[in-house]
Structure 1
């Protein structure tokens, strides 16, 4: 009897274990069958539209998926040639360095990745980069404006129409306050379809996009009540599919940096940095934030009279000294229907083409200058590398700075070269529409140099730095 009971007990245990395993497999199968999301590809290098001077760039990317990656599915193509067998492949990344220099010109890369779900969800990413010295054009626009705060709100179509046809801007961004958008509490950084206003903005943006002519941009501004949290401030985020707002949990400054750092394609801008709006914990450095925060607004306002607008060039210097790798922008932060018309404030992007990918690549790489003069053109290089570059272990530093303004009433009066702690290492006076400054110095490590151009009528322009490592 005891023996029979023991056998029965053992059989019962086996049946129980088998049922649990079967249920687990069924649940896993159900999960995999329901999974329709393809893998995420990120951290691509060279990035979209990036200009490469070297002929043997390391081509790499990372990928991830909750169900895991099917390594046998991975394929990398370069100029339509399958180079997968020449790549180094791991469970979360792929890399390839050409054995010979690539020909000068455009290179097209394509990566294919499938997950391990039963659906074998597939992600394909195709992008291009260029080998050879790029030729940059200067595109002018604004990266901070609002419709939601207008006394009499207009349609997004109207704002883009004004920017394109009345102001003749090359690009123009509408960056609504995320707290003011409907259902923003139910949105996330990847998906804001719950917000009808956000969906309307995206629809209008796509409608007005004309590559080579006008690039409308969209973004959101996350804002904190300065009385409740003076350490934060206002930040614009571009190139996101969704949005977040300060009303959501876990949105302190460090949490926000961590969130955006997980999305490699995002571009961040510190808006109106000052005591009244917030100083981002006095620009305490964050390596997570530094990856995404590429821009800082040094000028803001939509008043006709220059002195009634805001300048934040002191905050720009503080942020650079704290270690941030940022470029300056100058925007109107429009609260009226005077987009681009209000004054001459402009953000200028150096880009090879007028399309969204090229502009975002330039913003990521800080090829940007800020100006209070809509006509001025500034070129700045060290060792033939453009503003925004990071130079490692140079043997010498050859500066080349040119400022041109074809408006005869605007005279360039001074060019300053400014370094760490606000030190002016070079200054030359002018009284002309044309100004050029070339000189050489010995390199010092952990230095940065940016340019300040001063004109009559108290107009100033600031460039992105070039960093020496």
Structure 2
């Protein structure tokens, strides 16, 4: 008989090893907090149009583009009390903070005169980031980006928000088309903490040359799509079109306000699941698609599939165990009660529905789906009142919240 030498450990060493294992295992499951804000806003730096102007009747608010791709406004007069309607980034951040936003991203058009010449040390561009940093504290995160916005200029292939880049582009400059932008996004450096992220803005079903020119690198930068624009404009068909074309985008809400009044009045929100209320953590949530969009300004939504959080790419085995947790804290408002939850897959096909027979403020649902072909699943939610946005209350028969997909890895 052959004997093997064994190694003995003191009991405290064994306990230490076991404790270390438990700690290491616990560290693999981060704690996510839910924060609400907006991913799209225009300040007085967007000079071509906005609430600060008296617009000429029957004339488009932006008319001329010079040889450098700089856009010039052609309005009659600026309102004498323009400051009541519009202000610089610092004013936007202050109002957003006062109105309970956890984060707020300003995204002025980069082809505006104030951002010319287009260079990283442009005084206005640097100033936006300085104002964002000054407005950020433990209770509020201000972030700067820009809208890559053609505004019916050459090509008219769509608008995107580009967030947290050190340099920037003008969409109307010669040679700066969508293909150029996508390659640039593959390599562009970040402005301080956090990654670079981007979102498709208010798209149509076949925008961006019908979702062409995608590559793996830019797919991991453009991680969001504006499901809700200007409080109640819904871009669901575009969301399905982008997903079916292979883009891995999650739904967000952009106020797209061209004045300060919309900050308080608009109730739809982007939500992120982030590890902390910091610029880096919020951008990380966006990068990893832990986001959702809602016309309710504080609905709390979480779900996992096979233990992986929303926005994840799974190691698909054909069986998908969902754990869905939805609740609305406004228990004094019966309009906020949840009435229905859908699980949706490729092409917008509804896989399973949970009809809430008696509407409630909190729902937990754990269905299991077997599917050998789906490339993605996402969740949408209905409520009694259709959301907090005033116009949404006219359509409670339509969804009011859309959660980030999970991808099956196919």
Aligned to 1:455: 383
What do residues 129-160 of structure 1 show as CA deviations (whole Å, max 9, x unaligned)? x9321111100000100112341341322111
SS at match of 1:340: helix
Of the structure 1 ranges 279-288 and 453-462, higher mean CA displacement relative to structure 2 is found in: 279-288
The Cα shift of 1:395 comes to 6.0
Greater CA drift, 382-391 or 428-437: 428-437
Q: Distance in 1 between matches of 2:373 and 2:307?
A: 18
Q: Which residue of 2 aligns with 1:160?
A: 93
Distance in 2, matches of 1:324 and 1:168, equals 32
Q: Is 1:200 equivalent to 2:96 in the alignment?
A: no
Deviation track 1:214-247 (CA, whole Å, cap 9, x = no partner) reads 11010000111336323x2111111111211113
Task: Please name the residue that 2:196 is paired with.
Answer: 266
Greater strand percent: which structure?
A: 1
Q: Distance in 2 between matches of 1:350 and 1:331?
A: 17
Change in CA separation of 1:199 and 1:370 when aligned onto 2, cut-off 3 Å: same
Query: How far apart in 2 are the matches of 1:445 and 1:456?
Result: 34
Q: State how many pairs are aligned.
A: 331
The equivalent of 1:387 in structure 2 is 310
TM-score (normalised: structure 1) = 0.67
Task: Pick closer, same or farther for the CA change 1:263–1:444 going to 2, 3 Å.
Answer: farther
Structure 1 residue ranges without an equivalent (≥5): 1-100, 107-129, 303-308
Give the aligned partner of residue 287 of structure 2: 364
Q: Identify unmatched segments of 5+ residues in structure 2.
A: 1-18, 53-81, 190-194, 388-399
Counterpart check, 1:173 vs 2:105: yes
Aligned to 1:337: 260
1:324 to 247, 254, 261: 247
Shift of 1:104: 6.7
Decide which structure has the larger Cα Rg and report it.
1
Contact 2:93-2:142 within 8 A present in 1 as well = yes
Residue 298 of structure 1 is matched in structure 2 by 227
Deviation at 1:197, TM superposition (A): 2.0
Q: Alignment partner of 2:257: what SS?
A: coil
Residue number in structure 2 paired with 1:280: 208
Corresponding position of 2:35: 139
- Aligned CA RMSD, in angstroms, stands at 2.3
Q: Is the 8 A contact 2:315 2:408 kept in 1?
A: yes
**CA 1:273/1:452 → structure 2, altered by over 3 Å: closer, same or farther?**
same
